[in-house]
Structure 1
Amino acid sequence: MRNKKTYWEEYRMKLHEDINLNVRLKSPMEIDSALTSLINTTKQATQVATPKITFQNNTRNVPIEIKKLISQKRRARARWYRSQAPTDKTTYSHTSNGLKCKIKEARESSFSNYITSLNRYDNTIWKPIKHLKNPRHRYIL
């Protein structure tokens, strides 16, 4: 696993501690066991010195229908890239435009649900309005 955040000094120290350089290498079995030991040691050092990478899942709130349309669009695009046929380009354009419409509808319905859930009595209506005073957040709503 490659990662920008590997602690190289810790990696070197772990290798220095665990590698045994006084290994007999006379027979093929000894060479195989020494090689296996070296590979396992480097794997362990890598696991110790490299933090785990976590990815954020941004597809939590995407409806299943939109996910299916995304996969259809990707398949149509791949087919069109391979064949360059006009019919495949038409299919790709239709699926792409259909996906855009569905995403727009989902955003509009999500926004309308958000707006209808705001209430002036529990002060939820003032939070989005507060951001409108800041010029950077003027076009949020």
Structure 2
Amino acid sequence: SRSPRLISKSVDDTTSPSQLSAADMLQAEKMLFQRVQADSFAEELKFLKRSQPMPRSSRIAALAPVLDKDGLIRLYSRIKFAPGVDESVLLQDKEVTLYNKQTDWDSFRDIVDDTLKLKVALKSSGDVDNATMQFTNTIQTTCWRLTPQKSEYGMRLKNVPGEIRKRIQEKRRLRRVWHTSRCPSDKTALNKAMFELKTMIKDTEDE
């Protein structure tokens, strides 16, 4: 929850630099690393979290990757035996953009609409921090999933499973039907489709 506080402090000109503790900076750095790795090495993270051998087909298999206590992929290699030196954090060498002209904005709107929790009690600073984090994570991860990087333009690769895309299309169809008819049964069908889509998205993210 420190990252939202770090952001708010950074944009507030009246905030003293001394209010940004070393712990705040380290936590923000870890979170940025985690988000980049989750996008760049999603499959590798699955194997490391399950303590399973890395497939030889993985581009980082030869680097002896390990998962640290913060869930970051680090390089074990020879640096492990260098006194006072930590294992390197693994980051990809190409630029990763949040969105570009290939971003699927229609699917973005649907997934955010079905994932974001708007009815959240904000009774404390911790509640605000958590809500900010959830909002930021939803926007970022959805954008990354629906934005092919430059090397993927020609192939038109999509990170969203085909079944979820079908459910999104079905939800759009049912929404158009309900907007036209305003029939209670059509509204029920739309609500059911929205619930099933939200459940499927959550199950996919938990895998």
Establish whether TM, by shorter chain, passes 0.5.
no
More helix per residue: 1
Larger radius of gyration: 1
**TM-score class, shorter:** 0.3 to 0.5
Give me the TM-score of the superposition, normalised by structure 2. 0.26
